[in-house]
Amino acid sequence: MRSHAEMREKRDTDHLITESVNPASMEIDCCSTEGILRLISAEDAKVARAVENEIPNIGKAVDKIVDTLRSGGRLFFVGAGTSGRLGVMEAAECPPTFGTEPSQVRGIIAGGKRALYRSVEGAEDSPEGAVYELEKERFSKGDFLVGIAASSGTPYVEGAISYASGMGAGTALITCNPVPKEIADVTVTLLVGPEVIVGSTRLKSATATKMALNMLTTAAMIRMGKTYGNLMVEVKPASEKLRSRQERIVMSLLGVNRSAAQKLLQRARRDVKAAVLMDKLNVSFADAKKRLAREGGFLRRALGEEGGGKDGRGNDGA
């Protein structure tokens, strides 16, 4: 485990893929508007394959996150700059989409809230800053930390991972450069290549990172029973759009019209899963909730249905 002083030492970034010159865009300033856009688009087309190549490692992180959440632990995303903003955004999207408590998935960015709107120079170079924020959050060994650093060696992120590992918590690192020394339990290395503009990791690196974060949270929440098929059956009625989505889900699952769906949801206290169980099994709200609790929150299990076990390509899983 490296000390904070070692983490703060001047970093040699000359070897980083994300800091190297992209031959394809060396004359991008001579291009027309359409030419610039086609160059960017051609580079972006490489992102999906880079993410696909890391599915085994993303899967390992998902399984660890699921184990953590099932045990009552929390998920933390920690990063600086664009990486930090992506982590905070991912955490913020979980409650409205999957019905998680705001405290269950947390995002920490170097420099604090103001860094969400403007760059806070030097914040990424402080491993102590990350430790301070984690201590404020009462991070424990029962939690799981995902560090996000395109360069792989951001001191703030390294400090967070070191602190979490030191207390026995699970860790993962999402990066866009090869890691010379493994510092996390799982490393997701998204090799998207040099950026169109040298060093601008808000481009391909950020796109790949966002895709990987989407996979982490979405797959974990599906494994936690937060969906039925591809329907978000734990969506919270926080807005008119989301209330309407609840109604459409109930209409789809029960084959009823909107008026009936609204009445069912009202009886079920705007709980989609309970509404479906109440109608299909002709049970009370209390009994529906008990049945869900007994089945770990999985609507399919509460309905007595068997899972499909598909591998994502329509094939039966092993």
Report the catalytic residues.
93, 124
Closest CA to 213 of 54, 68, 16: 54
Measured at the alpha carbon of residue 151, what is the angle toward residues 147 and 156, in degrees to the nearest 5? Answer: 45
In 184-211, which positions are buried (b, 16+ CB within 10 angstroms) versus exposed (e)?
bbbbbbbbbbbbbeebebbbbbbbbbbb
Closest CA to 158 of 186, 130, 189: 130
| Exposure on the CB side of residue 270, measured as CA atoms within 13 A | 12
The phi, psi pair for 174, rounded to 5°, reads -110, 120
User: At a CB cut-off of 8 Å and minimum separation 6, what does 46 contact?
Assistant: 192, 193, 204
